[in-house]
Amino acid sequence: MDIPLNTRLRSKSLSEIERTSGSSGLSSRSCLLPCSHSMVSLSKIPREKNNFTQVNSSPDTLLNEFTPVISDDFDDENYTFQCSCPGLYQCSVTGLVFLMKAEGDVVYRTVPWNRKLLAQHRKKPAGPLFDIKCQQQSVCQLCLPHCEVISTGGGQFLQVAHVNDEGIEFITPQRITESHVVINITGFSGYGNVKDEDSPPDPVQALVLLFYKPPVDLDLRSFLNVLLLPRNVVIRDVQRTRRKLIGDERYIDTPPHCKLHPKQVYTLSAVPEDDLIKVQPTEADFDDEYHDSYFTSFQVILRIVFRDISLSLKEKSSSTCVWERDLCIFSPTVGTINLPPSERLLNTRSCFIEGISEPNLNSLIDKLLGKKVITEAEREAADTKQNRGKKARFVIDTVRSKGASLTSRNCLTFNPIFCTFQHLKLLECAEKVLVTFYGMKLSTFKRFMVILSPTLCIIRC
């Protein structure tokens, strides 16, 4: 699942973006920016009029948020901003802020860092590297998101690397705000935050990102992958990169923000705490250096389908909780949930007939009789069946024949997994499920649970 691109940020003034941190400066040159075969040609971008209010580049200039046009070509994803008037504009996907002196088309993308080149200058990445083009040369100021905690003295070692065909230069920021590094620009190509390799490991603004990998086929296990990343990563890039490396995952949109200490050891715990949930590894370091691979920090293995779990991230040394969330990871399949009760019974008929034990079947028949789901004559007819399989077949077909409304009501007794759950308490459902199906063969039970996965979360809620 991709993150929504229409999330609105509050309007800010230019004075909020500007907090002096030093004077402009630059240093050494070498190497080149990686080339791309898929960069969109500016001459081919259709012009569309944007409905932004025209503003002046004064300290009270309002920040207008825009959602870029996104084009995905081969391995690159390009963002396009079509600006119709001067002003201050922030990208809702990357967090980049452009101060525009006139109309223009800005095309940008993230590209890999040349770490060997940075190491030659004793630098390391402190955020994504953006390759930025503007044919009209109308961007006069660029604000790059950072993750430093400025209020506690962070950001003193930040610089902006400018990478182009001629080499690399390191620009001392003109201004630094709580969220952005501000530089004036005249040329275009690659820009990204860097800092000294030996800079102190001060706490940084960070994100805890969650990606859920649901069960596959007959395997009931699912995986919740937990990533600890600096705040200024581009979440869309994280999703796209992990899709290539890991495959399909569902991004869980929950408040991700926290403060983490680089090189500090953290532990992750999950609730409920039992043998059906395993967290691995037991501890992990937080690495604030920007990486392109976005590897998993913790993996939560769920041995059955859960609906709700709670996660908490703590510093190992002090046991201080730095991030805690209650999560709903269950997303029912609409097609299964919307099936009529009689069809849901039909979908699980063969598993029921094959798997339910004789004692549980007899107990179920008694409950169906007590709830007036079946008649005394139907109970006697079931008892005349010569073996368990024929009796189970008779019982489920009898209930299915009762009609849609009756089946929906009687599913509450027959099996809470089959019902619509509108009037059921979850704990009652869980109790009935466990009682009804404990007699199944393990292999059959697993197949049964996979078929019914959209509603199995009630077992552990």
**Does one domain contain both 121 and 29?**
yes
Give the strand pairing for 76-83 and 104-111: antiparallel
Work out the angle at residue 298's Cα, subtended by the Cα atoms of residues 293 and 303, and round it to the nearest 5 degrees.
Answer: 120
**Does one domain contain both 276 and 355?**
no
Phi (first) and psi of residue 26, to 5 degrees: -155, 170
Residues 6+ apart with CB under 8 A from 282: 267
Domain that holds residue 415: 334-460
Angstrom distance (rounded) from CA 96 to CA 89: 8
**Does one domain contain both 309 and 339?**
no
**Does one domain contain both 278 and 343?**
no
Count of CB atoms situated within 10 Å of the CB of 326: 10
**Does one domain contain both 38 and 101?**
yes
Single-letter amino acid, residue 411: C
**Does one domain contain both 27 and 114?**
yes
Residue showing tokens 């935050």: 193
Counting Cα atoms < 13 Å in the Cβ hemisphere of 356 gives 30
**Does one domain contain both 115 and 186?**
yes
**Does one domain contain both 18 and 110?**
yes
Q: Domain count of the chain? A: 3
Picking from 141, 165, 196, the residue at the C-terminal end of a domain is 196
In a domain, 6, yes or no: no
**Does one domain contain both 153 and 262?**
no
Per-residue pLDDT of the chain (461 residues; tens, 9 = 90+): 443 333 333 344 444 444 433 333 334 333 344 443 333 333 333 333 333 333 333 445 588 999 999 987 656 789 999 999 999 999 999 999 999 999 999 999 999 999 999 999 999 999 999 999 999 999 999 999 999 999 888 888 899 999 988 889 999 999 999 999 999 988 788 999 999 998 888 999 999 999 999 877 656 788 999 999 999 999 999 998 998 888 888 899 999 999 999 999 999 999 988 888 999 999 999 988 887 789 999 999 998 878 889 999 999 999 999 999 999 886 544 344 445 556 656 666 776 777 677 888 888 888 888 878 889 999 999 999 988 889 988 988 888 787 655 544 554 444 433 432 232 333 333 333 433 444 444 444 444 444 444 433 333 33
**Does one domain contain both 252 and 295?**
yes
Are the C-beta atoms of 220 and 303 separated by less than 8 Å? yes
In a domain, 9, yes or no: no
Q: Where residue 340 sits, what CATH number does that domain have?
A: 1.10.533
